[in-house]
């Protein structure tokens, strides 16, 4: 197809765009293969680690006389395998997060590049650096909810495969032990990660091979989905109104996609791509196109909804959005009701989404509003159709009102400021003495700000008793016996200084660990 188009010189703009689209598909496929190779390498590394762990455990087939030692060895083997599959899951999670965003952005880049390759007015002057800069601008403008959904969907799919892999390994190992199989037989039953595509066709469906196949399907399908979505979002943003379904036009085209080839749809009604797992199709801009401005300005003015906006217009939109974002950020960081009240409902909803505040009312919200509308009536048991009927009766909407969002955003900012103040307090603590240098009252205030309970929990009491009476098992204490033990050692209802320090150190450590985890992702 590419050769046929290239032979027609000079190319029309429609032919040039189609040719550029085919090049986009080629670039997408190269990235897909790189992603598949990375996933395969990760899986092969995990397979090798599991293999080595099993081979280290030499008594799988026949337990020695010291059965306790054998059981301890089996626990160690299971722990090693769990560590390997957990690490594999983390690596796959990071890769899928990266590939979804990269593919989506590449789709935007390729959409711009197609216009430049077709020598469309204004776009033909873009350099590769200009295309990259413009892709960044478009990325900030388009709705990325679809990207977030795809990323989370990919992680769910990958997580399912990882759990099946871990369960499959455990099943084969334990089954091998139960039936007296030797180490080599158990290792063979796990299957292999196959790097040669031709050999893969005959590799069967054992544990690792099955996981590899499913991961490859996910990678090929989801890279295509993100790439095509990026192009679709770009085309919709700049004003493309019609797109044509484009197959690879070879012997591998399936019965699902074949009838769609060449069909034209409205951009905002374009069918789902991929149409099925391992789908290879894409979309191509349908002709004719009109660029807003320049020599076509008069026509663009007459038909403003039917023209493609030039790069300069996208630049201006990006600047306007940056100014809008700065305004929203300032209002939120100020946390003042008066400032938040100047924003529209849509702006407040945007802020809420950005800061983890739901724009939809919860069931608790509904019950609270119904209690206010019908005092004295118990609404706590309402659900389903009965709850819906009551909400309609009192005209209670599903989304939070402007006042609701303002209050919640102000509360969110207040809690963030409180957390920042706590962090600043912790920074001021002398490194020599640390939390131990503070008074009990100061520690209690910090605990309240951090959400750490001042009260002794049952586990706190048991931990303290374990320290006071080493070697005695206190886990079974409860009721009167627990109360007697507390009286014996004068254990009060509130945490003492040492326990407050320990609880705060744990809370701060978990917070830092979470921040570190997020930076790694």
- pLDDT tens, position by position, 280-298: 999 999 987 778 864 433 3
Q: What percent of the chain has pLDDT over 90?
A: 52
Q: How confident is the model at residue 432 (pLDDT cuts 50, 70, 90)?
A: very low
Mean pLDDT for 392-398 is 94
The Cα 89–Cα 96 span in angstroms is 10
Mean pLDDT for 298-303 is 40
Q: How confident is the model at residue 147 (pLDDT cuts 50, 70, 90)?
A: confident
E runs forming strands in 113-249: 242-246
pLDDT at 275 over 90: yes
pLDDT at 271 over 80: yes
Select the more confidently predicted residue: 31 or 450. Answer: 31
Mean pLDDT for 318-343 is 93
450 within 8 A of 507, measured Cβ to Cβ? yes
pLDDT tens for 86-116 read: 999 999 999 999 999 999 999 999 999 999 9
Host H or E run for residue 266? strand 264-266
HEC sequence for 292-305: CCHHHHHHHHHCHH
pLDDT tens for 335-379 read: 999 999 999 999 999 999 888 888 999 998 999 999 999 999 999
b/e per residue, 263-292, with b = 16+ CB within 10 A? eeeebeebeebbeeeebbbbbbbbeebebb
The token duo for 212 is: 């590899």
HEC sequence for 56-94: HCCCCCCCCCCHHHHHHHHHHHHHHHHHHHHHHHHHHHH
- What are the Cα distances from residue 129, in Å, to 233, 318, 492? 21, 17, 68
Q: pTM value?
A: 0.70
pLDDT at 83: 92
- Residue-wise DSSP of 164-195: HHHHHHHHHHHHHHHTT--HHHHHHHT-----
The token duo for 185 is: 């037989």
Contacts with 230 (C-beta within 8 Å, 6 or more apart), sequence order: 103, 104, 105, 106, 107, 108, 109, 110, 111
pLDDT at 305: 46
Q: How confident is the model at residue 511 (pLDDT cuts 50, 70, 90)?
A: low
Query: In the predicted model, what is the mean pLDDT of the chain?
Result: 84
The Cα 269–Cα 90 span in angstroms is 36
pLDDT at 306: 58
pLDDT at 99: 94
């Amino acid at each position: 197809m590419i050769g046929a188009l290239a032979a027609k010189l000079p190319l029309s703009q429609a032919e040039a765009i189609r040719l550029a689209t085919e090049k986009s598909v080629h670039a997408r496929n190269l990235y897909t293969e790189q992603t598949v190779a990375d996933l395969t390498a990760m899986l092969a590394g995990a397979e090798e680690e599991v293999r080595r762990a099993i081979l280290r455990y030499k008594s799988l087939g026949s337990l020695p006389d010291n059965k306790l030692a054998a059981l301890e060895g089996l626990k160690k083997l299971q722990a090693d395998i769990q560590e390997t599959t957990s690490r594999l899951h983390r690596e796959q999670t990071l890769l899928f997060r990266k590939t979804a965003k990269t593919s989506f952005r590449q789709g935007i880049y390729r959409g711009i590049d197609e216009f430049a390759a077709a020598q469309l007015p204004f776009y033909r002057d873009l350099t590769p650096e200009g295309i990259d800069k413009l892709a960044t601008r478009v990325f900030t403008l388009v709705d990325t909810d679809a990207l977030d959904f795809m990323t989370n969907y990919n992680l769910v799919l990958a997580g399912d495969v990882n759990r099946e892999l871990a369960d499959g390994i455990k099943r084969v190992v334990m089954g091998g032990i139960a039936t007296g199989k030797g180490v080599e037989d158990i290792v063979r039953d796990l299957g292999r990660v196959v790097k040669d595509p031709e050999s893969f066709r005959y590799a069967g469906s054992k544990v690792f091979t099955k996981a590899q196949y499913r991961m490859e399907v996910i990678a090929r399908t989801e890279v295509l989905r993100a790439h095509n979505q990026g192009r679709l979002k770009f085309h919709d943003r700049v004003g493309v109104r019609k797109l044509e379904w484009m197959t690879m036009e070879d012997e591998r085209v399936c019965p699902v996609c074949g009838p769609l080839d060449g069909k034209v749809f409205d951009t905002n009604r374009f069918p789902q791509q991929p149409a099925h797992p391992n789908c290879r199709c894409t979309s191509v801009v349908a002709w004719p196109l009109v660029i807003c401005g320049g020599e076509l300005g008069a026509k663009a003015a007459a038909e403003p909804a039917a023209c493609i906006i030039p790069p300069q217009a996208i630049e201006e939109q990006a600047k306007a959005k940056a100014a809008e974002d700065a305004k929203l950020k300032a209002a939120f960081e100020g946390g003042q009701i008066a400032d938040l009240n100047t924003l529209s409902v849509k702006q407040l909803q945007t802020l809420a989404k950005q800061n983890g505040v739901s724009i939809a009312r919860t069931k608790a919200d509904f019950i609270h509003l119904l209690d206010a509308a019908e005092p004295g009536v118990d609404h706590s048991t309402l659900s389903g159709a009965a709850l819906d009927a009551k909400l309609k009766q009192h005209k209670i909407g599903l989304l939070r009102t402007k006042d609701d969002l303002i209050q919640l955003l102000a509360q969110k900012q207040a809690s963030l400021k409180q957390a920042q103040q706590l962090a600043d307090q912790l920074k001021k603590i002398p490194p020599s003495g640390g939390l131990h240098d503070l008074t009990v009252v100061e520690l209690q205030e910090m605990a309240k700000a951090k959400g750490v309970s001042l009260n002794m929990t049952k586990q706190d009491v048991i931990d303290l008793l374990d320290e006071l009476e080493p070697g005695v098992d206190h886990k079974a204490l409860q009721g009167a016996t627990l109360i007697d033990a507390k009286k014996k050692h004068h254990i009060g209802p509130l945490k003492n200084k040492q326990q407050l320090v320990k609880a705060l150190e744990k809370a701060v450590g978990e917070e830092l660990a979470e921040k570190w985890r997020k930076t790694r992702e």
